[in-house]
A and B are shown apart, each in its own frame.
Chain A
Amino acid sequence: MNIQEIFRSQKNDVVRLWTEAVYSTYPFETTGFLRTKRDPFGNPVAHMTREAAGTLYDAVAGEEVEIDTVKAALERFVKLRAVQTFTPSQGLGVFYLMKPLLRERILPALAAQAELDAYLTAESRLDSLALLAFDIYTAARETLAESRIKEIRNQHAQLARWAQRLEEGPSGAR
């Protein structure tokens, strides 16, 4: 098996194990539901997680994936983690849960073929992807903060306009 084949042969398992590792950051009672229901709108968290998992793995494995595709796939997932009750490290730390899986599933096979370099490159790609997620996370938090301000402003938009007219005096009035 060449490097690519090794990665591909492990994809299903790693994706599944990683997805489960993510699910297990949620309360126990919830995990069963996340695991079993497939509807993308009836179980959006699982759908987002699975989408992120597949793309994340492909990107780590060095498959031909566009950065925009990766971003789009990670975006929903990271945005979700960014507003759930996790600390930032818990929110994003899940990306590093893929490392032990890679070390268990991929490293031995690549080491056997003296392809340690290829393995280390894959791990580095995971690091970069985590940084990409960090960007998405930060942007999401900024959107959130802006929304708070925007909302207050919008609530009183017309009132502010009216008050401004009063201040301007009769010339501003109709």
Chain B
Amino acid sequence: MAKLPTPQMLVASRPAFPDKSWLDTKPEFTPGSFCYPAKKETMELLHMPNPHDWDPAAEDWNLPENWEKILCDAFADRLEKHRSLKLFMDICVRCGACADKCHFFLGTNDPKNMPVLRAELLRSLYRRDYTMLGKILGKKAGARGWDMSVVKELFYYAYQCTECRRCSLFCPYGIDTAEITAIVRELLHEVGLGIHWIMDPVKNCSFTGNHLGIQPHSFVEIVEMLADDCETITGIRPKTPFNEKGHEILFITPSGDVFADPGIYTFMGYLMLFHELDLDYTFSTYASEGGNFGSFTSFNMAKKLNAKMYAEAERLGVKWILGGECGHMWRVINQYMDTYNGPSPANMEVPVSPITGTVFSNAASTKMVHIAEFTADLIRHNKLRLDPSRNDHIITTFHDSCNPARAMGLLDEPRYVLRHVCNNFVEMPENTIREQTFCCGAGSGLNTEEIMELRMRSGMPRGNALRYVQQKDGVNHMACVCAIDRATLPPLADYWAPGVTVSGLHELVGNALIMKGEGKRTMDMRQEDLPNVAEDEPEESPADAPEAQGEGQ
């Protein structure tokens, strides 16, 4: 009889690290550990370099014959172009301050998910060609050359970094591993390596405006359905102005909130708020996607997709742009937009709230205001009638989305709004919020279902902190200001803190907002019964059963 393995033998899975240095330990491409590759046709349509069919699990990735030269040249080019990259390559002292700050490392315990080693994957290549020591001593000085396994490793770990920048917060030199990851992804694109979940939305945004590629007229119809839902809830049908010239404001938000549950409820919150304010604004079908998956691809692609915002602001003749709840959209606006596509069109002005007269001088350059700032300012000036008790059925916490928090410092405005629309607000532990917030685990285009398992471990530090306040304070809700979060946090909560629901900030604003002439509210934005509704007039017939698709939360 064959010998059965003992438990000790079964769990003896530790890779032979003591035998091999980390540089020689290679990742395994098992299902669930990598994203599906981008389709060749997609890459062709987008004029990406070297489009080809390939499979991450296969031995041969079908790279172009001269791939090594392409990558070396591209790397040299990026070093020339971005002084920050050269600096990041040179100055790391391997102090390790960043090592345990990455949620991927905390969830996977894979040493190469320590930011310092993630960057070292590229730095080792840099050393060979650009440092004297590396040239002479080679491997002894941590230098190595390009080979296929290095390319595979770069791919593996560049798509296990959500470009969240938590690590850079702790680096004494401010080395931004997120930017290194962005460059690695850009390099890989030079030899035709990209992932489907990013490139498909890029294609759709390029050709039709939104990430699902829905035609403009259909997009408008879908938004009108949401306005109908607002009417069902409040008795007031908000207007849905599209592509109209001559308004003061252009509103741009991620299109995910038009299509996806629970983002749609946040979108309805916007519609109701703008209607109540009688805001002089328009949507655009051309610039109907605030999110920018180009920023997960290459700088040029990010620039191209971002350009639509100003192009549309110019065509429609608006004074400024109001932007919805999104993560990386704001990183692009706050950090790159000026350089990419600035200065803003001549018809644009420094944003001024038409309701309160507040000048948003922080947006003097980009002319774009975040909706959380806008709404916080309204509340501050007492311009909204709010009934926070309509949110009494929830005890909410707030997840700081990485990009608004770390890339633009939007920390207090959403909290200010939240405190005014909800009576029960609880913070998660200090080292998991604000600047130190833990990523949802699936940002930067990793919110695809084939890596759900990976997402559950990279999102574990966030899920774990959520579970803590769920048990300690009875938290049953988590608000956020990012469309990707609204997609990624529900499964994360279902796994780590089942029973916690997720919504955008303006869904809760929509619940609390008392609109002029509205009917008695008996349901929340999801058309679920509002608790604590006093039964005064028995006149109304029971509301028709909500027909929302997707699961009622």
Which residues of A approach B to under 8 Å, CB–CB? 24-30, 33-34, 37, 39-45, 48, 76, 79-80, 83-87, 89-90, 93-94, 96-97, 99-100, 140, 143-144, 146-148, 150-162, 164-165, 174
Contact = CB atoms under 8 A, between A and B. Distances in A.
A99 B7 contact: yes
B250 to A, nearest CB: 22
A41 B106 CA distance: 10
B7 A41 contact: no
Given A93-B7, A147-B494, 14 more contacts: A27-B111, A28-B17, A41-B468, A42-B431, A90-B10, A93-B11, A147-B449, A151-B487, A151-B490, A151-B491, A153-B550, A154-B262, A155-B256, A156-B212
Interface in B224-244: 224-226, 228
Interface in B202-220: 212, 214, 218
Interface in B25-81: 30, 33
A85 B224 contact: no
A82 to B, nearest CB: 8
A27 B14 contact: yes
B418 interface: no
Contacts of A42: 100, 431
A146 B456 CA distance: 13
29 contacts: A25-B13, A27-B109, A27-B110, A27-B111, A34-B109, A40-B468, A41-B431, A41-B464, A42-B431, A44-B106, A44-B464, A76-B467, A83-B454, A84-B108, A85-B108, A86-B13, A94-B7, A96-B7, A140-B495, A143-B495, A148-B449, A148-B452, A150-B494, A152-B449, A157-B264, A157-B550, A159-B222, A160-B549, A174-B225
A25 B222 contact: no
A158 B264 contact: yes
Pick the most buried of B8, B13, B491: most chain A CB atoms within 10 A of its CB.
B13
B352 to A, nearest CB: 33
A4 to B, nearest CB: 27
Nearest to A21: B11
Interface string B455-472: 011001100110110000
A80 B547 contact: no
B452 A165 contact: no
B136 interface: no
Given A25-B13, A147-B494, A147-B495, A159 B212 contact: yes
Contacts of A76: 464, 467, 496
Pick the most buried of A30, A33, A79, A87: most chain B CB atoms within 10 A of its CB.
A30
A162 B457 contact: no
A85 B261 CA distance: 30
B161 interface: no
A80 B460 contact: yes
A154 B109 contact: no
Nearest to A147: B491
A97 B109 contact: no
B517 interface: no
Contacts of B550: 153-154, 157
B218 A85 contact: no
Given A29-B111, A147-B495, A44 B460 contact: yes
A99 to B, nearest CB: 7
A160 B13 CA distance: 45
Contacts of A147: 449, 452, 491, 494-495
Interface string B505-546: 000000000000000000000000000000000000000000
A87 B5 CA distance: 14
B504 to A, nearest CB: 14
Given A148-B449, A158-B225, A97 B11 contact: yes
Contact of A162 (B107, B225, B491): B225
Nearest to A84: B457
A156 B449 CA distance: 14
A69 to B, nearest CB: 12
B22 interface: yes
Interface string B145-179: 00000000000000000000000000000000000
A79 B99 CA distance: 24
B332 to A, nearest CB: 22
Contacts of A30: 109-111
Nearest to A47: B464
A109 B426 CA distance: 50
Interface in B475-515: 487, 490-491, 494-496, 498
A161 B464 contact: no
A30 B551 CA distance: 40
B116 to A, nearest CB: 11
B11 A25 contact: yes
A155 B222 CA distance: 14
